[in-house]
Amino acid sequence: MDNPTMVIAQWSMVLTLILMLSRRAPLYLTAIVGSGLTALIAGFPLTGNAAITLTKMVNAGLHPVIADMAGVLLFIGAMEASGLLDVIVRDIVRAGNRLGGGPGVAIAGGVAAGGIGSLTGFTQPAILAVATGNAAVRLGVDPSKVAAVHGHAGHLGNLAGFTHPTQVAIIAAIGAEFGVFNIYGAIIAASVFAASFFRLTLEKKAIGYSSSPEAMRDLLDDFENREYAAGSLAAFTPFLALIAGFVLGLPIFLVGVAAAILATIIAGRDPKRMEAEMIAGAGRIATPLLATISFLFLSTVIRNIGLVHTVSEAVRPILSLAPIQAMLLVASLTALMTQSYSAAAVIIIPFLEIVLDTGADPMAAGLAAASGGALMQYFLTGGPVAALATVIPVIPGSSLRTANRFQRSSILVGLVVALALTTALSL
């Protein structure tokens, strides 16, 4: 870029990102202050009639997903208050414990949430984290690491998904259909879960949490011997109604409220009391609200100063030698900076077209584009929308910074698997 002001602004943003990764500065304040200063350095006015102003970029952080999160958290509040989530906890604890104790319970919750997200295009790991997350904590797993594993749900929801706009655009661009592409995506997402499961299992052996079979049995007996508000089918009915609303494309806020009312009816609870408990559940939106606004403000500034375009142009020379690897690199860097699979599409889709023009294998190129975007959007902060920030409030004792730090190694494992798979497909 020839404009020296924009060059300085881009370096200012790079410094902001480095500070956010360093653990030496507050996460949200660094995102907000660094982005604001960068926008001012770039010469964008504070307000006014200009096409791009600081005010308009801040308002871009007021994403419609905030209303969606409120509806889901109302539903969570109703499910908790009605006792129906206790039934779901019991059933998933049973399945997860068979998989591998506390780590197994955490993995089961994350995979289940990712499966839902693959149908809806909008993964909400908090729905299950409130149930399975606290169960895994009770089985001895560190709360932040439990939150991290549930946050992996977005990888599966995107890469194995059928409705996310970026995913659909990539599949259309390569002339493929749903099916094999989703299976490859699921394999890459599964590698992220597998890496975290392996790490948690090693930790379990090293420090001996849930120290004895007797202690494990006592904890599981505690779940089994409780008096529950309903049977498994009744308890899962509001949850299934929520999924149905997602799949049908209904407004998520209204679907969450409707599912909460259904839970109230099934549990036979007093509606006025349930309303108060639902509102208490929605109070958890404070942390994801701050995360969403600050991180999307960061993403908006990054796009408007041209940093994403600069990165994509820098790797253009390697296209003739390694187009698939270049696609994975560009998708990864773009998603890292925008922290959004959706926002990254602005660069990913045009660059994918360039890669396809080189004669690269369409399936390999498309999978590289999707996996780089879907994996690395969570690397910097755990994701600004419907990801780790929504899980932290429902797992007491968890920390977003610590959880995200745990996620990063597993995400890199997934990236290596994506590199190996796309390279193999291109041979």
Residue-level pLDDT at 363: 96
Q: Is the pLDDT of residue 217 over 70?
A: no
Task: Count Cβ atoms below 10 Å from residue 2 Cβ, excluding itself.
Answer: 5
> Cα separation of 168 and 154, whole Å?
16
Place of tokens 């994996």: 375
The pLDDT tens digits for 221-234 are 666 666 666 777 88
197, 234 contact by CB (below 8 A): no
Displacement of CA 16 from its chain's centroid (Å): 22
pTM: 0.70
123, 154 contact by CB (below 8 A): yes
Instruction: Give the C-alpha distances (Å, rounded to integers) separating 290 from 44, 124, 345, 370.
Output: 23, 17, 24, 27
pLDDT grade, residue 135 (50/70/90)? Answer: confident
44, 297 contact by CB (below 8 A): no
Domain boundaries along the sequence of the chain: 1-59, 65-159+178-286
- Residue 386 tokens, joined: 């419907």
Which residue in 126, 128, 125, 138 sits closest to 97, CA to CA? 138
The pLDDT tens digits for 282-312 are 666 665 567 667 767 877 888 788 886 777 6
Interacting residues of 262 by C-beta distance below 8 A, sequence separation 6+: 237, 238, 241
**Helix axis angle, 286-304 to 323-338, nearest 10°:** 130
Does residue 335 sit in helix, strand or coil?
Answer: helix
Residue-level pLDDT at 211: 45
CB neighbour class for 96 (10 Å; exposed up to 12, middle 13-18, buried from 19)? buried
